[in-house]
Amino acid sequence: MFEANDPNALQLTTDGQLRHFLTTEGLPRELLVEILDTADSFVDMSQQQVKKVPLLRGKTVVNLFFEASTRTLSTFELAAKRLSADVLNLNISTSSTKKGETLKDTLMTLEAMHSDMFVVRHADSGAAHFIAQHVTPHVAVINAGDGRHAHPTQAMLDMLTIRRHKGDFAPLKVAIVGDILHSRVARSQIHALRTLGVDEIRVIAPKTLLPRHIEALGVKVYTDMATGLRDVDVIMMLRLQKERMQSALLPSEAEFYKLYGLNRDKLAYAKPDAVVMHPGPINRGVEIESEVADGPRSLILDQVTNGIAVRMAVMSKAMSGQLAQRGALAEAEEQA
């Protein structure tokens, strides 16, 4: 496991701009709102004839995925290309890290290619922080998911989806349902929701899929769907992450679906205008029934569209922060 100490010492420049995007935890509300506002301006770009802006022209973005994810990789690649960046998708399965080359050696090789940004996905918690600590100062690092720790861009695209459909965060009751224990998405969602000031955050799961001391994050814990979903405005379902389960935490998928799968009957406990979200990929008939996933209250496809806009916003803001930091360092050297 990597260590992830004091993320904001890495994430922010001396004047509070985004330098790396590693976690939503501890970031100021003003910065999260800036990211959402910037993303809002990009959402409708897919409807335009020319879908590019020149904000990252001449920059090289490396998608450094040590863990497979078709949806996240493709949206990051498309986001970078819409910002006019050059994009390199590094196939880790055939890279020299499989031949014994250390992660630091890989980073040095990529830096020698004059890369400007690393988008990192890794199975170990803290990997993105480790990379941010060891890259040269001119490289920005975006966390695309690390172990059970964080998935900040997924959380922010969820926040954008909620804001575009519900407006103000303050009056909302939000329920996060499913495999909380193994979910980096849930942790990032909780931090972002708290910072943005939602009225109430609930987590709903069997006891075996709840982290210890989850209440310390400021959430209300429920093990019963009927009680937990009562009068909520937003339902955020999670994928059942069987690949991260090291023991028999569930009797069966059928039993999980019976108790915690979202169907029309369980959806009826929420408010009549409650919306349904899922980070994907969906396990239909395990976490959610198709009629709900494809129904009029589902925002799942909106999340995909908003994911491109949010990742464009994060990339452009991180690169802007890196340039500002570089200028400040150069000015300090001149004065010295």
Binding residues, as ranges, are 71-72, 99, 121, 151, 154, 184, 239, 280-281
Is residue 200 within 8 Å of residue 220, measured between CB atoms? yes
In angstroms, rounded to a whole number, what is the distance separating the alpha carbons of residues 55 and 320?
9
Which single residue is written with the structure tokens 């075996």? 208
Per DSSP bridges, beta strands 117-122 and 140-146 are parallel
Annotated binding site for carbamoyl phosphate: 71-72, 121, 151, 154, 280-281
Annotated binding site for L-aspartate: 99, 184, 239
Backbone angles phi, psi at 49, to 5 degrees: -70, -40
